[in-house]
Amino acid sequence: MTRTLRGDIYKQRELLDRYERERARHKRRHERITFDCANAKVEGNRIICQRGVILHSLSMDGSMCLVAVLRGRTSHRCRTCRWYSKK
């Protein structure tokens, strides 16, 4: 079976739509989510804070998983951060 670009785009669109729904659900629960912060920076498949705030204490570099952030997960530190700023 050959993969087509059209099929890949459809699958990605479906995945992105699901992530948007999950983000909206988390946003209703928490006013501040990591996805919306201007200080969040993508490095590979991880999210780091440009201000140096440790987002996840169990990771070696304090970063969060990109997929988790796309789904609307947030760090407790983002919710209480004084440098939080909307994009």
Helix (H) / strand (E) containing 75: none
Question: How high is the pLDDT of residue 87?
Answer: 60
Per the structure block, which two tokens stand in for 14? 């479906």
**Nearest to 15, CA basis, from 64, 61, 51, 66:** 66
Question: How high is the pLDDT of residue 59?
Answer: 86
Rounded-to-integer distance, Cα 38 and Cα 86, Å: 6
* Residues in the chain with pLDDT values less than 70: 1-11, 87
Rounded-to-integer distance, Cα 86 and Cα 84, Å: 7
Question: How high is the pLDDT of residue 10?
Answer: 57
Q: How far is CA 80 from the centre of its chain?
A: 17
pTM of the model: 0.68
